[in-house]
Every structure is written in C-alpha cells, then in structure tokens.
Amino acid sequence: MALTVINEGQVIDLLSMPACIDLMKEALSSLSQGRANMPLRSAMWLPERKGLLGMMPAYNIDTGTMGIKVVSVFPDNYDTEFDSHQGGVMLFETTNGRPLALVDGSAITAIRTAAVSAVATDLLSRKDAGDLAILGSGTQAKQHLEALLQVRKIRRVRVWSLPLDHAQQFADSAGEKHNLDIEVMPTAQEAVDGADIICTLTPASKPILKGAWIAKGAHINAVGSCTPVAREIDTDTVVRSRLYVDHRESTLHEAGDFIIPRNEGAVGDDHILGEIGSLLLGEVEGRTGDDEITLFESLGLGVEDLSVVRYIYHKALENNIGTTVEW
C-alpha cells in the first residue's frame, strides 16, 4: 500500500489562491448542506499553556474521503523563524479506510484560512470596498493581502502590529510583491480609521479592535482568535455588527470573540445570522445596506483542510509530485 507524502513547498506549488477560494466555496456549501461531517476540534494544552496540539477530523460524503489535521499551535512563534501553526493533514478513502496521503499542514492552513476570508469578504463587503486595514504582520497578513486582491480592487493598505518593525518588514516585502504602497500605522485605531475592510490576524488574547473605531459600512474578518477565552475584537464590535460564521456549532463552543460578549449578556445565540455556506446557497440574507457593519468570525475547519488536501493529492498524482512511501 502506497502513501504519498507532500511537503510544504510542493503544497505551495500545487495550490493557487484562486483555486483555493473555489475549493472553500465548495467545502463551506457542503458543510451547510449537511454533506460533510465535522466534530468539534479537540486540543491538548502543554503546561503553562505554552502551546497546544490540536486535532481536527472531517468527512465529506460527496468525495468519499475523510481525514484529520494534527497541528501544533505556539503563539510565541511570531517572534521566531517558525510558523505559529505546524503539522500535517492525513487523507483517507472511505471504501476500505486506506490512508492515501500525508500533506504538510502549515502551507494548507496559511492559504485556506485567507481564502475563506476572501469568500466572506466577497459576499459581505461593499462592492466598492478597497480601503484595507490589516492588524497583524505574520503569515496570515501576507496570505490575506493576496487573497483579498482576488475579490476586491484594493486601493489603500494600512498595517499595524507589535513590534512595529515587523509591520515595516511586511509592508516592504508585500508592497514590493504586489506593487502597493503599504502604510505602517503606529496604532491599531489609526490603521482602521475609515477602512472598509478590516482583518484581525494576531495572537492577541484581549481586544485589539474596538467598535467605536469602525467606520459605517465596514466589513471585518476576525481570524486570529480560536479559543473560548481569547478574543481580538471587543464586545461593542460584535454588538454593532451583522455576524456570520464559518460553522455555527464551532462558534458557539470555541470562539472567544463571540462567547465572551454572550457571557456578558450583550448578545444571544441568535446574533449569529448564518454560516458562510448558507450565504453561498442563498439560504440567509447578507448585507442589506451600505452603512451596515458586517463581521465574519473565522475559526478554521477540518472540512476546509480535507477539501484542500484531496485537491492537492490528485494534482500531485497527475504531475508526479510528492514522495511515495510503502505503508
């Protein structure tokens, strides 16, 4: 029995951002239709909560595949050469349960997370939105800029993160790559002032974005926080926004951005207007006016990883890429 091993560089070669955006539309639609199954992720914390090992299984009826992502999350890696998220995704077929592939998870996480934000931004931001504020300057900042350029004509980019020299490094490299003049702002408030697309992409455990700063008509992608006790956005931001999620059940159990305001009594579960998959299917209403603030709470899902790894596996076989291991 053969297993195909695909490394980070090969993932990057095989997975373009436009292709990933299309894959995320399919995966999120399948999930909202009940055609994919995904239990809540589980996590094992290390002592003193230095880092965790997360496990994200998923199954897709339509493709006859199942898989699991195993990833370490070490927030302090933002100050090192290593990604904050590292691991792999294992793909299985569902006729006999054979393992098919082991694929690097870091590149998949980086690309598919931004691709999902692009899907949400295309659905929820104003069609003329193009003033982008990025809070954070790591891997997700780079990927989100690339992804959002696929769905909106970005005319201005501002970035803020701590330390500011990291933000400057991002501005220099990403600006050169995309031929953009990226402005480094000294505060998060100045970065988001008047912005109509805002992405929060940090390891913060307390709010870095306040509702009072957000312009009418803005769309927010809240991406960095993925535990019940941490959040990047304050309660006022959630209250002021029309809230959409990648997966309702996950948000109710895992998203501190939502759970903390709910525990404060500021919002109820009905504040979640729908899943992105339901928006894609036309089952829920999206933005209804130019002055509304829309918010997408992104947690990252096993069904997204499964969709991507299946695509990469078949492309690798077609192009004779990857390492075959007898299993």
**What's the CATH code of the domain at 25?**
3.30.1780.10
Looking at the structure, tell me whether residues 133 and 89 fall in a common domain. Answer: no
Residue 133 half-sphere exposure toward CB, CA atoms < 13 A: 27
On whether the CB atoms of residues 256 and 235 are closer than 8 A, the answer is: no
Looking at the structure, tell me whether residues 104 and 155 fall in a common domain. Answer: no
Interatomic CA distance for residues 40 and 57, integer angstroms? 8
- Can you give the pLDDT at residue 126? 98
Residue 115 covered by a domain: no
Residue 168 covered by a domain: yes
Q: Is the peptide bond before 163 cis (omega within 30 degrees of 0)?
A: yes
Residue 114 covered by a domain: no
Per-residue b or e along 169-201, where b marks 16 or more CB atoms closer than 10 Å to that residue's CB:
ebbeebbeeeebebbbbeebeebbeebbbbbbb
Residue 246 half-sphere exposure toward CB, CA atoms < 13 A: 32
Q: Count of domains in the chain?
A: 2
Residue 11 half-sphere exposure toward CB, CA atoms < 13 A: 23
Helix ranges (DSSP H) in the chain: 8-14, 17-32, 105-124, 139-148, 164-178, 188-192, 235-240, 248-254, 256-263, 276-280, 302-318
For residue 296, the enclosing domain spans 125-300
Give every residue of the chain whose pLDDT is below 70, as ranges: 78
Which CATH number do you get for residue 157?
3.40.50.720
Q: Where are the beta strands (DSSP E) in 49-107?
A: 52-60, 65-73, 85-93, 99-104
- Can you give the pLDDT at residue 166? 94
Looking at the structure, tell me whether residues 296 and 308 fall in a common domain. Answer: no
Looking at the structure, tell me whether residues 310 and 276 fall in a common domain. Answer: no
Question: Counting Cβ atoms within 10 Å, is residue 205 exposed (0-12), middle (13-18) or buried (19+)?
Answer: middle
Residue 117 covered by a domain: no
DSSP 233: B
- Can you give the pLDDT at residue 79? 73
Predicted structure pTM score: 0.95
